[in-house]
């Protein structure tokens, strides 16, 4: 029982991270109907920027941890947002009218480019960060196994909930959110009504990238090690989460992220961690075969 | 036994009933037109007939060679392959990057695949395949002559003028040897001369091949001119069904769609 | 007004430079320095930031001023089909192809040929074959397969295992590897080929990765990270190219009464892959002219129209997948025999990406384009360490650039698969 609860806690934490990344996938898909293959790389860039920002603050002498983390968070979100904006402008916008494979290939090219860009600039070796936030709560003990929840895990979960709540509010209540939903429904009509579609799409990418950056920062703190390749696997799993929850659906992305995090944690905990990625991937295939619209999505009707 | 019997067709999308309890029949050797205001459900009916939508309720019975095919339960491509229902699209869907000739050859894919023994015979260059390919080219050439595009057989289909593309799409559908040809607004965007050519083509298809034609159209001159039977839809329901003269005078139809005498 | 245009160009370039500056500051300006277990440090590298920013400013300005401002976030028209028709006359292409083949056959005997060159040419040919294989899937059928390396791996590992378990020779195992890879393609493809392009891409990407993970972890069968050793080399019609025959049989050099030289094996391997590649080429060209090949291209153009013509899209896609997989399997078997040993390290996403880059840059659907792209991509790293290091970076950038500027690839011009021929009076 204790072991189960521990895996549950770990899974929730992981799920929060995947959920944040999945939002980016689902939003971009909802508005322009394509998968942003480079999104995982934005998460990775967010992680690197966090690392660098944190180290810099250390050198500069900011030692008050909450302040440092806040600054790191803002820096990561800001810089990654610019990367997200640039990726859209360079690789996707020019291809908006093109044949359907073109933006996909461009996205893959962008993904490869960003991975190697970071690899060349920062080296291929793993980068480590000494633990920043230590300690946690001892929840209970059973049969010699102690169930713990670290402060960091709490922060991650709380921060994620807060961000998602705030973000949902933005989508529901602000003009940008309305414009976003309008573009998702019918881009031509939205443009005719005076909505700046280009800007709305850019904002979508920017927001998605910022959230991915938060995920990146949290992972940097949580695992303490990052490398240029983390975007690849995390991206695929987050995409699985988005599909599981229902691509295009925001609550779906959050739900999917949660489920994937739990699946991964329980699989590693009870079976083998060697094949945990295979397990998550199997989920993707099963969902796509049996329920491609996901848990919360609506089945797509083909327009002829 | 009519060629196509549509019985109580209904389909809804998320609470909106697009087509409600529509029944009509289309006969072999006749041109049946479906008309109605935009949004009346005409293309929806087509999409149900050709397997792009699954009806919620209703039966779509096609009789071919004495066999019945129930289209409402069939996969899209099977409807074309087994039931012999061919269609053209409102926004022309040619294989734009392929040549005019290739478009017509692709339409004969199933016949050619069998003749090529699923490519093995083709790879070995067996006469069975070579003869089948020659016959396919001959059939294509026949249609090219009929639609006046023989000289442009090796040009990209996307490079043809609009009217020629429409004719090509019809010829391509005919190359599948259908029993029922469904045309979705074939006259859309055509000038009067092209429309006249289209009329000639459709009438010749009806008279020579004896198949049934089902068409959605807004051009009343075309509809009244060539239809043997007209079905009128409004808000997803059938409001009239009969020969052109009767429909033209039907008060419901006039109120809903035709306005002044067409 | 020229002044206004210049001002607009300057403003545009300044904005681009500002964005570049922001992008460069965190990752270019600062470099993480590893102190091993004690953590990480930071070094600054701002010189590069200024260079990058300045470079972007200058390039944008030049583009704007030279009127090539069509590049300014230009939209590609919706009628842009991936293949443009019309081509250099059939004879020119055939001639070019023939010349290349003659050159390829003669290569090992040319005066400047060295072991290094033959080795390099062998590698190029492997990638050409892989490119042609993926071309069937991506170029002809328009299915974005990002995990092609999986079939490459199946071919390699199946040969290695059959050689080990059943003592099969290369020539005996070759068809088996191909069939197994094709079967794999069908199994993998069956559940996912009804998916739309994006989903198919990511699922195939996942497959590729999962295969690698399984190869890495299933040590009992695959040897895990150490891989499999002792893979036999091919024989020349039963004559092994070894200094001494194992069971007292006759070796190649003994049969032809020439002294043994390790060069012979290398040249022989080169000819084996050349032979395989040429057969692949003939096979794919032939398929293209058969109904199945035309169906692939039609499917790429418009799947809905295909369905309306009674063509079963799933079967057509499966056939493309299976045949592409089979060709990949053949290449994999050769890869195994050439190296003599294989490990999961050779079958990463990077390989899939490289092969995809070859197909994309060469022009999807074009055989010749794949050849040229493979030559460029494989030989480029040989021209300098810089190229080798930046290879994948350039690939990625090139893929984006090609899609934006010349989506049809560098060389693609689609030749029709069947012509009506000159009509009377033309």
Summarize pLDDT for B120-144 with one digit per residue, the tens.
Answer: 878 888 888 899 999 999 999 999 9
Residue A85 has pLDDT above 60, yes or no: yes
Q: Is B95 touching A (CB cutoff 8 A)?
A: no
Q: How far is B118 from chain A (nearest CA, A)?
A: 27
Say how many domains are in chain A.
Answer: 1
Q: Is C286 touching B (CB cutoff 8 A)?
A: yes
Question: Per-residue pLDDT tens for A232-275?
Answer: 989 999 999 999 998 888 889 999 999 999 999 999 888 888 88
Residue A120 has pLDDT above 70, yes or no: yes
Q: How many whole angstroms separate alpha carbon C381 and alpha carbon A85?
A: 32
Structure tokens at C320: 């493309």
The beta-strand segments (E) located in A56-179 are 127-128, 136-142, 145-150
Q: Is A229 touching C (CB cutoff 8 A)?
A: no
Give the model's pLDDT for residue C72: 42
- Averaged over B211-223, what is the pLDDT? 90
Whole-Å CA distances, A75 to A54, A218, A220, C387: 10, 13, 14, 33
Q: Name the residue of chain C whose CA is nearest to B172's CA.
A: C309
Please indicate, yes or no, if residue A244 is contained in any of the structural domains.
Answer: yes
Q: CA C355: distance to chain centroid? A: 2
Put simply, the answer to whether C416 touches B154 (Cβ < 8 Å) is yes
Q: Is the dihedral of CA C16, C20, C21, C22 positive or negative?
A: positive
Domain CATH number, residue A215:
1.10.3470
Q: What ipTM does the predicted assembly reach?
A: 0.90
Q: How many whole angstroms separate alpha carbon B241 and alpha carbon B246?
A: 8
Give the model's pLDDT for residue C87: 53
Q: Can you give the residue range of the structural domain that contains A212?
A: 2-290
Residue A169 has pLDDT above 80, yes or no: yes
- Averaged over A180-189, what is the pLDDT? 82
Put simply, the answer to whether A301 touches B43 (Cβ < 8 Å) is no
Q: Given A90, A94, A110, which is nearest C76 (Cβ)?
A: A94
- CB contacts of B14 in chain A (<8 Å) are 298
Q: Name the residue of chain B whose CA is nearest to C286's CA.
A: B123
Q: Is A304 touching B (CB cutoff 8 A)?
A: yes
Domain at C90-405: CATH code: 1.10.3470
- Averaged over B49-75, what is the pLDDT? 88
Please indicate, yes or no, if residue A296 is contained in any of the structural domains.
Answer: no
Element (H, E) at B7: strand B4-13
Q: How far is B74 from chain C (nearest CA, A)?
A: 12
Q: Is A303 touching B (CB cutoff 8 A)?
A: no
Please indicate, yes or no, if residue A304 is contained in any of the structural domains.
Answer: no
Give the model's pLDDT for residue C122: 93
pLDDT confidence tier of residue B229, bands split at 50, 70 and 90: very high
Q: How many whole angstroms separate alpha carbon C101 and alpha carbon A255?
A: 57
Please indicate, yes or no, if residue A295 is contained in any of the structural domains.
Answer: no
Q: How many whole angstroms separate alpha carbon B70 and alpha carbon B4?
A: 10
- CB contacts of B13 in chain A (<8 Å) are 301
Helix (H, G, I), strand (E, B) or coil at C151: helix
**A/B interface, count of CB pairs below 8 Å:** 8
Question: Per-residue pLDDT tens for A27-64?
Answer: 998 888 888 999 999 999 999 999 999 888 888 887 78
Q: What are phi and psi of B58, to 5 degrees?
A: 125, 160
Please indicate, yes or no, if residue A148 is contained in any of the structural domains.
Answer: yes
pLDDT (tens digit, 0 to 9) for every residue of chain C, 426 residues total?
A: 577 777 888 888 888 888 998 998 888 888 887 765 555 677 788 888 888 888 888 888 887 777 654 544 443 433 444 444 555 566 777 788 888 888 888 888 887 778 888 889 999 999 999 999 999 999 899 898 999 999 999 999 999 999 888 888 888 889 999 999 999 999 988 888 877 778 888 889 888 888 999 998 888 888 888 888 888 888 777 777 777 766 667 777 777 777 777 777 888 889 999 999 999 999 999 999 999 999 999 999 999 999 999 999 999 999 999 999 999 999 999 999 998 889 998 898 888 988 998 998 887 778 888 998 899 888 888 877 777 788 888 888 988 988 888 766 555 567 788 887 664 433
Give the model's pLDDT for residue C85: 54
- CB contacts of C41 in chain A (<8 Å) are 55
Q: Is A301 touching B (CB cutoff 8 A)?
A: yes
> Tokens 């603050």 appear where?
A57
Residue A8 has pLDDT above 60, yes or no: yes
Give the model's pLDDT for residue C71: 46
Is this model's pTM higher than 0.90 or not? no
- Averaged over A95-124, what is the pLDDT? 88
Put simply, the answer to whether C81 touches A55 (Cβ < 8 Å) is no
Residues 6+ apart with CB under 8 A from B248: B224, B258, B261, B262
Q: Is B77 touching A (CB cutoff 8 A)?
A: no
Q: How many whole angstroms separate alpha carbon B253 and alpha carbon B226?
A: 18
Dmax over Cα atoms in chain B, in whole Å?
65
Q: Name the residue of chain A whose CA is nearest to C399's CA.
A: A109
Q: How far is B166 from chain C (nearest CA, A)?
A: 14
- CB contacts of A89 in chain C (<8 Å) are 73
Put simply, the answer to whether C191 touches A285 (Cβ < 8 Å) is yes
- CB contacts of C42 in chain A (<8 Å) are 52, 55-56, 59
């Amino acid at each position: 029982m204790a072991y189960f609860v521990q895996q549950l806690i770990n899974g929730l934490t992981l799920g929060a991270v995947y959920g944040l990344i999945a939002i980016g996938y689902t939003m971009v898909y909802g508005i322009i109907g394509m998968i942003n293959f480079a999104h995982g790389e934005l998460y990775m860039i967010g992680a690197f920027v966090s690392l660098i920002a944190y180290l810099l603050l250390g050198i500069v002498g900011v030692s008050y941890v909450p302040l440092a983390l806040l600054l790191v968070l803002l820096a990561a979100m800001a810089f990654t947002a610019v990367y997200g904006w640039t990726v859209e402008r360079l690789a996707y916008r020019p291809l908006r009218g093109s044949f359907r494979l073109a933006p996909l290939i461009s996205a893959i090219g962008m993904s490869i480019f960003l991975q190697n860009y970071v690899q060349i600039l920062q080296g291929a070796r793993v980068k480590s960060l000494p633990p920043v936030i230590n300690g946690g709560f001892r929840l209970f003990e059973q049969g010699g196994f102690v169930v713990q929840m670290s402060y960091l895990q709490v922060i991650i979960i709380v921060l994620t909930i807060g961000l998602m709540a705030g973000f949902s509010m933005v989508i529901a209540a602000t003009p940008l959110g309305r414009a976003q939903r309008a573009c998702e429904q019918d881009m031509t009509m939205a443009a005719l009504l005076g909505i700046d579609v280009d800007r709305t799409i850019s904002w979508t990418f920017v927001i998605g990238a910022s959230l991915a950056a938060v995920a990146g920062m949290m992972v940097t703190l949580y695992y303490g090690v990052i490398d240029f390749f983390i975007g690849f696997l995390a991206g695929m799993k987050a995409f699985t989460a988005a599909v599981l929850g229902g691509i295009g659906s925001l609550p779906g992305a959050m739900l999917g992220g949660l489920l994937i995090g739990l699946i991964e944690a329980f699989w590693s905990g009870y079976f083998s961690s060697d094949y945990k990625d295979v397990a998550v991937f199997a989920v993707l295939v099963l969902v796509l075969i049996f329920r491609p619209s996901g848990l919360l999505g609506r089945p797509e009707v083909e327009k002829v | 036994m009519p060629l196509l019997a549509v019985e109580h067709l209904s389909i809804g999308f998320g609470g909106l009933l697009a087509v409600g309890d529509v029944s009509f029949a289309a006969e072999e050797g006749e041109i049946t037109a479906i008309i109605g205001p935009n949004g009346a459900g005409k293309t929806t009916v087509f999409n149900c007939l050709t397997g792009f939508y699954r009806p919620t309720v209703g039966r779509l019975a096609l009789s071919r060679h004495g066999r019945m095919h129930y289209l409402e339960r069939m996969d899209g491509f099977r409807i074309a392959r087994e039931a012999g229902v061919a269609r053209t699209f409102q926004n022309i869907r040619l294989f734009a990057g392929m040549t005019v000739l290739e478009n017509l050859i692709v339409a004969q894919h199933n016949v050619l695949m069998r003749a090529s023994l699923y490519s093995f015979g083709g790879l070995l260059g067996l006469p069975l395949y070579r003869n089948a390919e020659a016959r396919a080219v001959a059939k294509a050439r026949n249609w090219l002559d009929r639609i006046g595009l023989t000289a442009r057989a090796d040009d990209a289909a996307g490079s043809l003028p609009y009217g020629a593309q429409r004719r090509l799409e019809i010829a391509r559908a005919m190359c599948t040897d259908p029993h029922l040809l469904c045309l979705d607004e074939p006259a859309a965007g055509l000038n009067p001369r092209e429309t006249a050519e289209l009329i000639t083509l459709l009438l010749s298809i009806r008279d020579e091949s004896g198949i049934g034609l089902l068409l959605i159209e807004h051009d009343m001159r075309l509809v009244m001119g060539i239809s043997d039977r007209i079905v009128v839809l409004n808000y997803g329901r059938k409001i009239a069904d009969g020969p052109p003269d009767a429909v033209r005078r039907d008060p419901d139809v006039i109120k809903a769609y035709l306005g002044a005498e067409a | 007004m020229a002044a206004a245009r210049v001002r607009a160009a300057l403003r545009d370039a300044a904005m681009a430079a500002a964005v570049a500056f922001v992008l460069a500051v965190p990752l270019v300006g600062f470099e993480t320095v590893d102190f091993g277990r004690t953590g990480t440090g930071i070094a600054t590298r701002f010189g590069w930031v200024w260079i990058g920013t300045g470079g972007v400013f200058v390039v944008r300005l030049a583009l704007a001023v030279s009127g090539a401002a069509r590049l300014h976030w230009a939209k590609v028209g919706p009628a842009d089909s991936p293949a443009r028709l019309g081509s250099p006359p059939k004879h020119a292409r055939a001639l070019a192809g023939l010349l290349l083949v003659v050159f390829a056959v003669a290569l090992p005997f040319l005066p400047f040929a060295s072991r290094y060159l033959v080795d390099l040419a062998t590698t190029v040919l492997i990638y050409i074959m892989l490119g042609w294989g993926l071309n069937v899937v991506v170029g002809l059928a328009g299915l974005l397969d990002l995990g092609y390396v999986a079939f490459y791996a199946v071919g390699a590992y199946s040969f290695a295992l059959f050689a080990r378990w059943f003592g099969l020779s290369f020539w005996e195992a070759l068809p088996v590897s191909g069939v197994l890879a094709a079967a794999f393609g069908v199994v993998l493809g069956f559940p996912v080929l009804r998916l739309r392009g994006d989903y198919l891409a990511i699922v195939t990407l996942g497959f590729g990765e999962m295969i690698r993970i399984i190869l890495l972890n299933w040590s009992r069968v695959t040897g895990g990270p150490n891989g499999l050793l002792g893979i036999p080399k091919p024989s020349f019609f039963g004559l092994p190219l070894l200094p001494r025959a194992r069971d007292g049989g006759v070796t190649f050099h003994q049969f032809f009464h020439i002294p043994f030289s390790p060069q012979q094996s290398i040249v022989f391997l080169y000819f084996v892959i050349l032979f395989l590649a040429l057969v692949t080429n003939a096979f794919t060209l032939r398929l293209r002219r058969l109904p199945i090949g035309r169906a692939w291209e039609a499917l790429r153009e418009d799947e809905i129209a295909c369905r309306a013509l009674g063509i079963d899209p799933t079967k057509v896609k499966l056939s493309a997948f299976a045949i592409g997989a089979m060709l990949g399997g053949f290449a994999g078997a050769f890869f195994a025999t050439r190296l003599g040993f294989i490990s999961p390290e050779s079958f990463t996403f990077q390989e899939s990406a490289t092969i995809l880059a070859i197909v994309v840059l060469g022009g999807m659907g074009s055989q010749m384009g794949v050849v040229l792209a493979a030559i460029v991509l494989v030989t480029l790293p040989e021209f300098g360490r810089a190229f080798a290091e930046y290879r994948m970076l350039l690939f990625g950038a090139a893929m984006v650039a090609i899609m934006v500027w010349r989506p049809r690839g560098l060389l693609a011009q689609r030749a029709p698969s069947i012509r009506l021929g000159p009509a009377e009076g033309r």
